Amino acid sequence: MRLGFSKLLTPFRIILTAYVIAMFVFSVLLFLPIASQPGVTVSYSEALFTSVSAVSVTGLTVVNVSETYSGWGVLFLALAIQLGGIGVMTIGTFVWMIFGRKIHLSQRMLIMVDHNQIAFSGLVKLMRGILAVAIGIEIIGALILGTYYLNYFDTALEAYYQGAFGALSAFTNAGFDVTGQSLIPFADDYFVQIVNILLIIAGAIGFPVLMEIREYLTSKDNNFRFSLFTKIAVSTYFIVLAVGFLGLWFLERNEYYDGLSWHQQLFFSLFNSTTARSGGLAVMDVSDLGLASLLLLSGLMIIGASPSSVGGGIRTTTLAVMFLTIRSFAMGRSDVKAFGREIHPEDRQKAFIVLSVFIVGLFTSIVLLAHFEDMQQVQLMPIIFEVSSAFGTCGLSMGITDELTQASQNTLMVLMFIGRVGLVAFLFSIRRREQKTYYKYPTERIIVG
Amino acid sequence: MRLGFSKLLTPFRIILTAYVIAMFVFSVLLFLPIASQPGVTVSYSEALFTSVSAVSVTGLTVVNVSETYSGWGVLFLALAIQLGGIGVMTIGTFVWMIFGRKIHLSQRMLIMVDHNQIAFSGLVKLMRGILAVAIGIEIIGALILGTYYLNYFDTALEAYYQGAFGALSAFTNAGFDVTGQSLIPFADDYFVQIVNILLIIAGAIGFPVLMEIREYLTSKDNNFRFSLFTKIAVSTYFIVLAVGFLGLWFLERNEYYDGLSWHQQLFFSLFNSTTARSGGLAVMDVSDLGLASLLLLSGLMIIGASPSSVGGGIRTTTLAVMFLTIRSFAMGRSDVKAFGREIHPEDRQKAFIVLSVFIVGLFTSIVLLAHFEDMQQVQLMPIIFEVSSAFGTCGLSMGITDELTQASQNTLMVLMFIGRVGLVAFLFSIRRREQKTYYKYPTERIIVG
Ligand SMILES: [K+]
Ligand SMILES: [K+]
């Protein structure tokens, strides 16, 4: 029996391959001499790390972008971020569309699985919508930030350059910066922070949510109903945001926040709670926070954003299904409900799998880094923080990434890659062809927990 | 509508109450002046912590038992351990049986849920068997250790006292010691270690397994078949033991083990991998190990032992269902199989719940302790270690428990309590009466992970 090439190339494997190719191509571009500042030499492993971090829109860095990369370098970086953010496959299909070709079913499937989308209809429309919404938001953000930055920067060129890169980085949740120190210079500028928060949320809340909101606003249909996905994703997103906000304020009110004004406390808590969910931009050196806050931020990074968004983590819906299942069990129910709908058992199963795989991967990586760094006497907290940040493709950092051994940096690269591809897609890509079961084994109960 | 008293007293709530009462009674006994050595004063919070740790067979301590407690104190402690180990309800039923009363169905239910047992038949026989096997193993262990200890101790009384307490502590996985420094004096005595390892495994492998093995050995039926539970629990138990053994050896071979003989390396790895699964006895100061090893040990403590055993943790079967579900998904199957049997969907659901609740509880507790200890500058690793040890009712310690603030110690007490009661039973106890659903909501798919 011959195994055909097309059988090996399942949609999920094509996506995986596309990401690998994109990461490789950009690593070469970022390694080119024209990409770096005069007099600065970038090693290939640094270029690869930057490329993986950019395509996976994580934002962890081993070099200072503004000091290392030239105009060309920043352009390559911006392209990598844009490509990663909107999705290699979305852009591929868009190009396909521009060339006027008819989209084949297999191509549709690609986008569907890349955005983890189940509904089949209107897929092409969805893709066109994604690009319109994404680029529209980025342009508006760039104009607002750029114009406002005229107060900060000497030339209009520099102001709009900073504004454009900042809007791209915030909306794609990439978390890269060309200021040299993230948003720390704007620690007291609440306008900049609010714009960034809104951009981060727009990118992290999930494209289907944005599309539904647009449809709701433009639709003449009075019976428009938001999908269960949108209801669960949005409510979970904001509940976690509120928990992070209150938690940070509670933990730091007598510590780091001691002596700060109420509005500074409010914005530090709000911005950190938002950025930890996948944004990766910083308005302060997070390593100044207490141990409990750093753990809380790690937890937020692990939870992450909505599926089908630029964010990562176990995703809001997984967390929601976890809690809904626990609640349903504690209430003596066998089905799991939310917003007058029942959660499909297969989705509960998927949530269990995502949670399990994430925890096993997270734990293994932390142990590996602790082992690799044992000689270097790196503390446990920064290790947990950077691993959570990489796996959740968040990009917040306690500043140790560039000091890590090569083995640790390689581990972080693998985590960013899997984190971006998504656990479900990753498992699907190693998955065998669906097996028809011709006989059923008898079921036997066991004792659990 | 009146809510009857009997309706509030569900079996699970009775068990919870029984544990609370036992912990309270023993805290008072251990607080009595006759319980402590002359000249030593025990505070009530110390007595309470010791009692909770003993009844939950955890083994974390805030006092040095041999220096603090008198003969009476050690006797109370031994009783608390025995009671906790075999189960408050098992002993209760045994007394009931001795008094010749007929066991009512509700009483049977109690034992069933206490040991998380599903099969209904032969329950009284099982209980009698549990006690026979448990006390039989303890007596044999006490005789072997006591006789062997004649080499170590001056008087036969002291040798058999140490042997008896040691056998009780090992088999019930309590992890308490009256040597003053756990099994560290026997770090080079492999005979003592082997006996302790066998006792710990016998207690942790699960009573149903022991009963089935006994039935297998004594049964004349050639068609005897081990249950799916026994097969999964035993194989998972030993796979995790092997992973822990190999992992510790790999991580420490050039570190702590550097310069040690191969048999010392072997026994340190074997004993630590075994004791971390719930035993809690120590042959070395674990805080001398590297960061990676300490995390690995924490992971082993979190996994824990089999259900229906003296051990804690998420339990072997939960871990097994996790991995079987992932494997089944990666292989493109919708059902989950093991040993030619299908795992019941409800058991998969339970595993998901146990995992979710455990992780949420673990994370919250670590954040709380990090917050409570912030002033004291306690490191993160010992916090994670002690929390894992308490929630997994293991009892291994990096030695910080007695230095913790009262708030942290209270948190550990709550964790030991919930850890012993078990997450499923704990959730059942807060569970409302099973709700009949008279209408079914429509099912709607969402995007997960
Ligand atoms: K990011
Ligand atoms: K224990």
B144 in Cβ contact with B195 (< 8 Å): yes
Q: Which residues of A touch B355 (CB under 8 A)?
A: 352, 355-356, 359
Angle at A52 between CA A48 and CA A56, to 5 degrees: 170
Confidence tier at A307 by pLDDT (50, 70, 90): confident
**How far, in Å, are A258, B53, B217 from residue B213 at the CA level?**
62, 30, 6
- Cα–Cα distance measured from residue B253 to residue B264, given in angstroms and rounded to the nearest whole number: 11
Say yes or no for a CB contact (<8 Å) between A444 and B345.
Answer: no
Q: Is the pLDDT of residue A407 over 80?
A: yes
* Domain ranges, ordered by start, for chain B: 5-430
Q: Is the pLDDT of residue B1 over 50?
A: no
What are B328-359's pLDDT values in tens digits? 888 777 788 888 888 888 888 888 888 999 99
Ligand nearest to the CA of B200: 2
Average confidence score pLDDT of chain B: 82
Ligand nearest to the CA of A84: 1
- Cα–Cα distance measured from residue B248 to residue B255, given in angstroms and rounded to the nearest whole number: 11
* Token reading at B201: 């495994």
What are B164-191's pLDDT values in tens digits? 999 999 998 888 888 878 888 888 888 9
- Cα–Cα distance measured from residue B123 to residue B179, given in angstroms and rounded to the nearest whole number: 38
What is the pLDDT at residue B431? 64
Q: Residue B234: what residue type?
A: V
Of chain A residues 92-131, which have a CB less than 8 A from chain B? 116-118
Reported as type and span, the H/E element at residue A183 is none
What are B59-68's pLDDT values in tens digits? 898 988 888 8
Confidence tier at B40 by pLDDT (50, 70, 90): confident
Average confidence score pLDDT of chain A: 82
- Burial degree of A254 (CB within 10 A; 0-12, 13-18, 19+): exposed
List Cβ neighbours of B236 (8 Å cut-off, separation of 6 or more).
B316, B317, B319, B320
- A384 vs A427, which has greater pLDDT? A384
Q: Which residues of B touch A323 (CB under 8 A)?
A: 356
- A274 vs chain B: nearest CA distance in angstroms? 19
Nearest Cα to Cα of residue B161 among B140, B178, B137: B178
Confidence tier at A412 by pLDDT (50, 70, 90): very high
Q: ipTM of this predicted complex? A: 0.88
What is the mean predicted confidence (pLDDT) over A148-153? 88
- A334 vs chain B: nearest CA distance in angstroms? 8
List Cβ neighbours of B144 (8 Å cut-off, separation of 6 or more).
B163, B167, B195
What is the mean predicted confidence (pLDDT) over A38-59? 90
What is the pLDDT at residue A103? 46
Q: Which residues of B touch A434 (CB under 8 A)?
A: 332
Say yes or no for a CB contact (<8 Å) between B347 and A322.
Answer: no
Q: Is the pLDDT of residue A174 over 80?
A: yes
What are B110-159's pLDDT values in tens digits? 555 555 554 444 556 666 777 788 889 999 999 999 999 988 888 988 89
**How far, in Å, are A27, A81, B275, B284, B430 from residue B384 at the CA level?**
38, 36, 17, 19, 27
Of chain B residues 330-389, which have a CB less than 8 A from chain A? 330-335, 337, 340-357, 359, 363, 366-368, 370-371, 373-374, 379-381, 383-384
Q: How far is the CA of B115 from the centre of ligand 1 (A)?
A: 46
Which 8-state DSSP code applies to residue A437? P
Angle at B12 between CA B8 and CA B16, to 5 degrees: 95
Confidence tier at B287 by pLDDT (50, 70, 90): confident
**How far, in Å, are A122, A135, A234, B322 from residue A217 at the CA level?**
18, 19, 17, 43
Reported as type and span, the H/E element at residue A338 is strand A337-338
- Cα–Cα distance measured from residue A139 to residue A145, given in angstroms and rounded to the nearest whole number: 10
What is the pLDDT at residue A3? 44
What is the pLDDT at residue A294? 93
The residue assigned the tokens 């428009």 is A224
- B432 vs chain A: nearest CA distance in angstroms? 5
- Cα–Cα distance measured from residue B400 to residue A116, given in angstroms and rounded to the nearest whole number: 46
- Cα–Cα distance measured from residue A13 to residue A100, given in angstroms and rounded to the nearest whole number: 26
What is the pLDDT at residue A399? 84
Nearest to B350 among A354, A379, A449 (CB): A449
Size of interface A-B (CB pairs under 8 A): 276
What are B17-37's pLDDT values in tens digits? 888 999 999 999 999 988 888
Helix-then-strand count for chain B, H and E: 19, 3
Closest chain A residue to B370, measured at CA: A292
Closest chain A residue to B230, measured at CA: A446
Ligand nearest to the CA of A282: 1
